[in-house]
Structure 1
Amino acid sequence: MKPRLFWKILVALALTLALATGGVVLAFAVQTNFGRDIQAIFHQQRAERLRAAAVALRYGGRPALDQVVAAWPAEERARLRLEPQADGTLKPDLPPPRKRGSLLPAWPLAVQLAASFVFSAALAAYLTRPIGRLRGGFRRLAEGDLKVRLTPGMGRRRDEIADLAHDFDAMAERLQQLIASRDRLLHDVSHELRSPLARLSLAVGLAHQPGGFDAQALARIETEGARLNTLVGDLLSLSRAESEAGAEEIYFDVASLLRVICDDAQFEAKPRDVTVALELSPELADADEAPVLKGAPELLRRGIENVIRNALRFSPAGGTVHVAARTDQERVVIEVSDEGPGVSPALLETMFDPFVKGAGEVRGVGLGLSIAQRAIAAHNGDVQALNRPSGGLFMRISLPRT
């Protein structure tokens, strides 16, 4: 990121100094030219008056000189002197006036002070105004207002402060999503726990009644306990999906990981006669050329395995789940497709949310794809789901290669 604010301040300061220097030079030039003009006019007037006074004194004497001098300004009359000459005559003389202080030498200082004040005021307003907005935004965010956004108030700014406002908006947006997701997750968890707990309480009540039903009640208690255990395990996997990848930094071969996952999936799919076909690109199939990934291999294995298990669950008997992996520039792309019924367009946007189940799905609690998405996102990857034109669901997993 270029230091745009730095350059703005630097250019503004340099421009201010240039204007101040230009003002000083202009002031001195004006002062010099103006002084020269005044001196020229003064000497011309002095010479003309002395000439008129000398003519009047020579041909009319002192009375004629007094008549000529009477038209002069009082200051000129006060400075008139009659100097005696060697031949006994008098010669009029006008000594120059005393030099007085001029305001012209103060111009350069005034220009510099004015330029410095204007630049300081503009710079202070340019910096403090958006900083004040940022401060107000942080205060509102700390008070719980997650809808506050700062980028619209920055106008046309394109500098570091505008970038900071943009990052603040991204942070506020992410916090709003996380809190909304947390609230939705708590609501869904409480809803999912309520049903097995209610059946568990009912089974305990039946077990306490005299007259039989003990074996049936105990079987129901065992079933609901297993469901609760599965739900809690999935919730723990969901909460750990974002932390385990950051805690582990292991380099692993994605091709070997896919082979293990597909072998396990093929073993599970045997009773339903479903085939899991793995296709690796030449680069991934070559152990010497295959790229490696960095992160938590067990977490990523769990995420990809959930995607493949989801494809197995909806594949018809005798169908095939295709798993293909290839490299695309700086990423590793894994594609999983099945021959099932696919999903509705509305479900494509929500199928990775917690506790979302497909149409007609009765097993599980709807956390498998949520765990998969978070495990993949923890490795800076993403997963997309699309309906195949020929039928079935197509999922693309993209991971950055190391």
Structure 2
Amino acid sequence: MGKLFWKFFIVIWLALLTMGGSMGGAFWLQRNAVLNANGASRNQPQIAADPAAPYLSTASLIVNKGGIDGLRSFLAESRHNPAMPPIFAIDDVGKDVLGREVAPNILAQAKSLAASHSTGVRRIKTDEGQSYLLFALYSDNNSARNPKQLHPDPPPPWLPITLGFFISLIFSGVSAWYFAKPIRQLQSAFSAVARGDLDTRAGQIMSQRHDELADLGKSFDYMVSQIQLSVNAQQRLLHDVSHELRSPLARIQTAIGLAYQQPDKIPLTLERIEKESQRMNDLIGELLAISRLEAGVIGKLEMIDINELLSEIVEDARLEADSKHVGIDLNIAGEIFLQGYYDLLSRAIENVLRNAVKYTRRHSKVSVNAKLCASGHQLHIDITDQGPGVAETELSAIFDPFFRGSHHQTSQGIGLGLTIALKALETHHGKIKVGNRAEGGLKVEIMLPAA
């Protein structure tokens, strides 16, 4: 068991013991108060009601048959019978026939009961005309004469204390185990991920739970999935970069070998080496741009005039488009502004536009349309070309680093332009979508939040 289990265990156990002790102490104090009150009342003699009725009937018959002397004899003999309660016969002046002392409150209670015709008190008259009150007294001090049922003695105090101790012990252990188990499972899962096992998942292990710990397991699974995707992407990028760098390096080595064999062609060889070196430099520059985007090095936020930005990008792209006799149509609906990073957004749109110019047919057109949506909160920029488009099976991978479509043989590009565009637009909380046009060519939709 780990430290967390014992912390849970001790806290829950102490809480249960404190609660149980407080409730038990309060109950014990209340019970003692009730017992003391009941004990004080039981020490006082009370007039027996229904339980004494048979004895009072017997005494009445004796008076009718034997007179007051017979009653006196009967009462004297009953004093020696532990099964009978003490019976009193009080005359009109408040004297008992046996001369026993009767408390004034008992005498008053007897007269009150007689007036209400209670069965616990009988009023009799002798032949001589004398009147007597008959009643029986009982006291808890004399258990043999107590007509009421006695309560059993309470159990010794150590019994409930011991029972509560062991019950709280078991409950605390189960509760601590219930809370500590998923945390131990998460700890094992974290250790497995730290060792490089990115297939580890914790949510399935805690699938039967429906609490915050189960949610924590699902969050752990999501985190590991994202790490796995990131690691796989980095590995693919490393593989692609190695491949892309290996090709120009191999061509440079070949050119150097030809220069040694054919010194007369050194100028052509140097030109080839310069071209491949520039290709490597461009590749490294694109990789650095992606790295800066992922690291959050994006420059200064400013208000951008979209009309000015698009006009500048289109004007620069026309130099490349003219060599293919390709026209670029720019349509902007009104004045549009947004908050963003000028250089970053310019590079993203420029990469998309140059990609369209590169793949469109010769003697065709590329269209650039910009407008705000009906609500005015989102900017839409559509860039369409008249090229061969992209196979439907390849559209989902078009933004992957070093992606080459089925028509890449006509292009000398690096394959990172759309990747940079995607990351730049995500930095602006924007989106980019691609799709083939029904009339041919590719359509790229850029959506950005407007100012």
Relative to the length of structure 2, the TM-score reads: 0.64
Match of residue 6 from structure 1: none
Any stretches of 5+ residues in structure 1 without a counterpart?
A: 1-16, 104-108
More moved, 233-242 vs 153-162: 153-162
What's the offset of the Cα at 1:168? Answer: 3.4
Q: Distance in 2 between matches of 1:155 and 1:293?
A: 45
Q: 1:277 aligns with which of 313, 326, 329?
A: 329
Q: Distance in 2 between matches of 1:61 and 1:159?
A: 78
Q: 1:147 aligns with which of 152, 175, 199?
A: 199
Q: Distance in 2 between matches of 1:45 and 1:192?
A: 113
List per-residue Cα deviations over 1:244-280 (Å, max 9, x = no partner): 5655323323332222212212232122221211222
- Note if 1:171 corresponds to 2:219: no
Match of residue 425 from structure 2: 376
Number of residue-to-residue matches in the alignment: 355
C-alpha change, 1:63 and 1:244, in structure 2 (3 Å) is closer
Q: 1:307 aligns with which of 348, 352, 375?
A: 352
Q: Distance in 1 between matches of 2:304 and 2:351?
A: 19
Q: Which aligned pairs between 1:153-192 and structure 2 lie closer than 5 A?
A: 155=207, 164-192=216-244
Q: Distance in 2 between matches of 1:196 and 1:388?
A: 35
The AA in structure 1 aligned to 2:220 is F
What's the offset of the Cα at 1:387? Answer: 0.8
Q: Is the 8 A contact 1:265 1:308 kept in 2?
A: yes
Per residue, is there more helix in 1 or in 2? 1
Any stretches of 5+ residues in structure 2 without a counterpart?
A: 1-18, 63-70, 90-94, 102-135, 144-150, 156-160
- Note if 1:390 corresponds to 2:439: yes
Q: Distance in 2 between matches of 1:82 and 1:392?
A: 122
Q: Distance in 2 between matches of 1:263 and 1:346?
A: 33
What's the offset of the Cα at 1:236? Answer: 1.7
More moved, 263-272 vs 311-320: 263-272
Partner-residue secondary structure (3-state), 1:349: helix
What's the offset of the Cα at 1:391? Answer: 0.8
C-alpha change, 1:302 and 1:90, in structure 2 (3 Å) is same
What's the offset of the Cα at 1:141? Answer: 3.1
Q: Distance in 1 between matches of 2:88 and 2:332?
A: 120
List per-residue Cα deviations over 1:101-158 (Å, max 9, x = no partner): 868xxxxx9xx999x9999899867865655554444443333332334444554877
What's the offset of the Cα at 1:234? Answer: 2.0
C-alpha change, 1:291 and 1:224, in structure 2 (3 Å) is closer
Q: Is the 8 A contact 1:242 1:378 kept in 2?
A: no
Q: Is the 8 A contact 1:274 1:320 kept in 2?
A: yes
C-alpha change, 1:93 and 1:293, in structure 2 (3 Å) is same
Q: Distance in 2 between matches of 1:311 and 1:271?
A: 14
Q: Distance in 2 between matches of 1:312 and 1:124?
A: 67
Q: Distance in 1 between matches of 2:436 and 2:381?
A: 16
Relative to the length of structure 1, the TM-score reads: 0.70
Q: Which aligned pairs between 1:131-280 and structure 2 lie closer than 5 A?
A: 131-152=183-204, 155=207, 164-209=216-261, 212-244=264-296, 246-280=298-332
What's the offset of the Cα at 1:394? Answer: 1.0
Match of residue 98 from structure 2: 88
Partner-residue secondary structure (3-state), 1:146: coil
C-alpha change, 1:143 and 1:199, in structure 2 (3 Å) is same
C-alpha change, 1:213 and 1:277, in structure 2 (3 Å) is closer
More moved, 322-331 vs 131-140: 131-140
Match of residue 344 from structure 1: 391
Q: Distance in 1 between matches of 2:238 and 2:176?
A: 47
Q: Name the % identity.
A: 33
Q: Distance in 2 between matches of 1:213 and 1:248?
A: 49
